[in-house]
Amino acid sequence: MENMFSLEGKVALVTGGVYGIGFAIGKALHDAGAKVVYNAHTEESMNIGAENYKAAGIDAKGYFCDVTDEKSVQEMIADIEKNYGGVDILVNNAGIIKRTPMTEMAVEDFRLVVDIDLIAPFICAKAVIPGMIKKGHGKIINICSMMSELGRETVSAYAAAKGGLKMLTRNICSEYGDANIQCNGIGPGYIATPQTAPLRERQPDGSRHPFDQFIIAKTPAGRWGTPEDLMGPAVFLASDASNFVNGHVLYVDGGILAYIGKQP
């Protein structure tokens, strides 16, 4: 059973793996035996990633790469193939959100969210799939969202992109499943990260932020998730334990999608 979850000898690329969910998944894959590489698109992000992996005792390789730029991604993948033997596991984690009412949102901002949250996973998957076909195996994990299933005020671009990412996941499965490539998604619920910190800030009177109260009430687990809650699911989907799991989105949400909520 241990061998089913082992990633010994595998190379895992985690996009945006410098902190938060991406870093937790990178650490989990490393702890399961994989060599971890990640990208950063700014010097500041690269430094944060290097410090976080070093502090965790992990020898991870960072690349300067804009994952929305196909040429840059292709150069990164070529270097990984040259130095580490190619990508066995791709985690499309890089993403952004802009919380703006739809009618107030600039088209440029909508496009930016879609570029990073949907087009970039397409570019990265396109770049690694030929190498995976040659190897005879591959794992692609797309970090989707509950917004792959639900809408909410102010997140039209994010929900559109994550809904598209869910369908890209299914289509990669459909096209390349017979090449022994499994493409699945992880749909995090509300996770306590720097990105969601403003939604959890205490009010001046010490009370919870209204959105924080809403999420706690809607989550059967009664709490926000943590990046560590995603580590086990990531290792499962990256390992041989999931070899017949394909085109699936595993929602790690504390039960939100299963729950209608308490009666007022």
Give residue-wise pLDDT tens across range 236-255: 999 999 999 999 999 999 99
Residue 10 scores a pLDDT above 90:
yes
Topology given in CATH for the domain delimited by 2-191+224-258: Rossmann fold (3.40.50)
251 is catalytic: no
Euclidean distance between CA atoms 105 and 156, whole angstroms: 9
Residue 9 scores a pLDDT above 90:
yes
Span 188-202, average pLDDT: 89
The two tokens of residue 170 are 């299914």
pLDDT of residue 31: 98
Q: What distance, in Å, lies between the first and last C-alpha atoms of the chain?
A: 46
- Please tell me which residue in 19, 53, 158, 251 is annotated as part of the active site: 158
Where is 168: in which H helix or E strand?
helix 156-176
Q: How confident is the model at residue 28 (pLDDT cuts 50, 70, 90)?
A: very high
Where is 141: in which H helix or E strand?
strand 138-143
pLDDT digits (tens, 9 = 90+) for 81-139: 999 999 999 999 999 999 999 999 999 999 999 999 999 999 999 999 999 999 999 99
pLDDT digits (tens, 9 = 90+) for 175-187: 999 999 999 999 9
The strand order across the sheet containing 249-252 reads 61-64, 35-40, 11-14, 89-92, 138-143, 181-188, 249-252
Residue 34 scores a pLDDT above 80:
yes
Q: What value does the mean pLDDT of the chain take?
A: 96
